[in-house]
């Protein structure tokens, strides 16, 4: 499915029920001519249909670091969208913690200056915690486009199942296309 001239998007998902709809982002990016690779945190993987995403993208869904000396199965990324990204992952990312493959890729992407968009997805109490707000601010200062005005911020429920379908996949895509590093 990949050719050498198409740009490559890494769609990164973390442990949120909203991850199950990442196929919407895959469809949007593929319709624009991008190759898409899905990378999921171990907890994010619990929410996605790995087989369907692999069939749709033509690439394995990665969630673990590869063994040393083995070739990478994914083409290198030209850009990344981390959506949904949990508060836990936002805080670790801003601290440079790479204890999962998605975090390692996101830390590296900032270091390389790649266009990166993040869509934090959590309840308002977690999103408003000072350390999370500080992490979001840091990521923004480092060139990450962070979409913080998503509908999930308005809810009072901690589960948010009723808000999963509101994750702004289209907004994330448009933000990537408008990213100053593109």
Q: Which domains does the chain have, with CATH numbers?
A: 8-66+74-177 (3.40.50.1950)
Higher-scoring residue by pLDDT: 167, 81: 81
CA distance 105 to 75: 13
Alpha-carbon distances of 150 from 17, 105, 131, 159, 163, rounded to whole Å: 15, 24, 19, 15, 10
CB 152 within 8 A of CB 163: yes
Write phi, then psi, for 120 (nearest 5 degrees): -60, 140
- How far is it, in rounded angstroms, from Cα 27 to Cα 146? 21
pLDDT at 177: 95
Separation CA 78–CA 68 (nearest Å):
23
pLDDT of residue 155: 44
Model confidence at 164, pLDDT cuts 50, 70, 90, reads low
Write out the two tokens for 72.
């990478």
């Amino acid at each position: 499915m990949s050719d050498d001239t198409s740009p490559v998007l890494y769609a990164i998902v973390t442990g949120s029920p909203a991850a199950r709809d990442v196929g919407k982002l895959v469809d949007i990016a593929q319709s624009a001519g991008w190759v898409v690779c899905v990378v999921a945190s171990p907890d994010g993987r619990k929410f996605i249909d790995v087989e369907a995403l692999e069939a749709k993208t033509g690439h394995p869904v990665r969630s673990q670091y590869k063994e040393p000396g083995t070739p990478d199965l994914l083409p290198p990324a030209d850009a990344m969208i981390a959506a949904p990204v949990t508060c836990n992952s936002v805080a670790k990312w801003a601290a440079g913690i790479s204890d999962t493959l998605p975090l390692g890729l996101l830390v590296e992407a900032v270091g390389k200056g790649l266009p990166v968009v993040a869509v934090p997805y959590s309840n308002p109490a977690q999103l408003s915690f000072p350390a999370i707000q500080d992490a979001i601010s840091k990521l923004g200062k480092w060139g990450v486009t962070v979409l913080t005005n998503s509908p999930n911020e308005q809810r009072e429920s901690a589960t948010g199942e009723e808000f999963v379908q509101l994750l702004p996949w289209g907004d994330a895509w448009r933000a990537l296309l408008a990213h100053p590093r593109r």
